[in-house]
Structure 1
Amino acid sequence: MPLFILLFLLPAMAFAGKTLPATNFQVTHNFIEKMSNEHQFDKDELRSIFAKITLVSAEKPNKTTPKKPKSKPLSWDKYRTLFITNTRIDRGVKFWQENLPALQRAEKKFNVPQEIIVAILGIETNYGNNKGTHPTLETLARLAFGKHRRWKFYQKELIEFLLMSRENALPPLSLKGSYAGAMGYAQFISSSYRYYAIDFDFDKKIDLFNSPTDAIGSIANYFDKHQWHDFGPYARPITLTNSQSMYAKSSTNKPKNSAQYWRNKGFKIDNDINNKTKLAFIKLTQDDHFETWLTFWNFYVLTRYNHDNRYALTAVLLSSRIKQQFNQPNSTIL
Structure 2
Amino acid sequence: MTEAKPARQGGYAKRPEAAGFIAEMVREHGFSERQLRQLFGQVRHEPQVIEAITRPVVEPPKWFEYRAQFLTEARILGGLAYWKRNQSVLERTENQWGVPAEIVVAIIGVETFYGRNTGRYRVIDALATLAFDYPRRAEFFRKELAQFLLLTREQRISPLMPEGSYAGAMGLPQFMPSSYRRYGVDFNGDGKVDIWRDGPDVIGSVAHFLVEHGWAAGEPALVPVQVQGEAVAAELDRGLSSRRALRAWQELGVSVEDAGLVASDPMGMLLMLEQDGGEEFRFALQNFQVLMRYNRSRLYAAAVWDLAQALRAGRDER
Question: TM-score when scaled to structure 2?
Answer: 0.88
| Correspondent of 1:51 among 37, 41, 47 | 41
Read off the aligned partner of 2:17 and give its amino acid letter: V
Read off the aligned partner of 1:105 and give its amino acid letter: R
Match of 1:223 in 2: 210
Q: How does 1:86-101 map to 2 (within 5 A)?
A: 86-101=73-88
Q: How much has 1:267 moved relative to structure 2?
A: 3.1
Partner Cα distance (1:236, 1:150) in 2: 37
Match of 1:208 in 2: 195
Match of 1:15 in 2: none
Q: How much has 1:244 moved relative to structure 2?
A: 0.9
- Cα 1:187/1:251, change in 2 over 3 Å: farther
Partner Cα distance (2:150, 2:250) in 1: 50
- Cα 1:252/1:36, change in 2 over 3 Å: farther
| Cα deviation digits, residues 88-122 of structure 1 (max 9, x gap) | 11111111111001000000001000011111111
Read off the aligned partner of 1:247 and give its amino acid letter: E
Partner Cα distance (2:21, 2:105) in 1: 38
SS at the partner of 1:292? strand
SS at the partner of 2:45? strand
Q: How does 1:238-257 map to 2 (within 5 A)?
A: 238-240=225-227, 241-250=229-238, 256-257=243-244
Read off the aligned partner of 1:272 and give its amino acid letter: G
- Cα 1:36/1:144, change in 2 over 3 Å: same
Structure 1 residue runs of 5 or longer lacking an equivalent are: 1-17, 58-66, 330-334
Partner Cα distance (2:240, 2:212) in 1: 19
Match of 1:79 in 2: 66
Q: How much has 1:251 moved relative to structure 2?
A: 6.5
Partner Cα distance (1:253, 1:44) in 2: 53
Partner Cα distance (1:251, 1:161) in 2: 35
Partner Cα distance (1:314, 1:49) in 2: 40
Partner Cα distance (1:184, 1:47) in 2: 27
Contact 2:105 / 2:308 at 8 angstroms: preserved in 1? yes
Aligned length: 302
Partner Cα distance (2:156, 2:240) in 1: 36
1:33 to 2:23 alignment: yes
1:104 to 2:94 alignment: no
1:297 to 2:286 alignment: yes
Partner Cα distance (2:274, 2:9) in 1: 41
Deviates more, 1:18-27 or 1:240-249: 18-27
Rg larger in structure: 1
Read off the aligned partner of 1:28 and give its amino acid letter: A
1:173 to 2:163 alignment: no
Partner Cα distance (1:316, 1:69) in 2: 28
| Cα deviation digits, residues 22-60 of structure 1 (max 9, x gap) | 123110101000111111111111111110012379xxx
Partner Cα distance (2:146, 2:190) in 1: 26
- Cα 1:115/1:68, change in 2 over 3 Å: closer
Identity between Structure 1 and Structure 2 (%): 33
Contact 1:124 / 1:185 at 8 angstroms: preserved in 2? yes
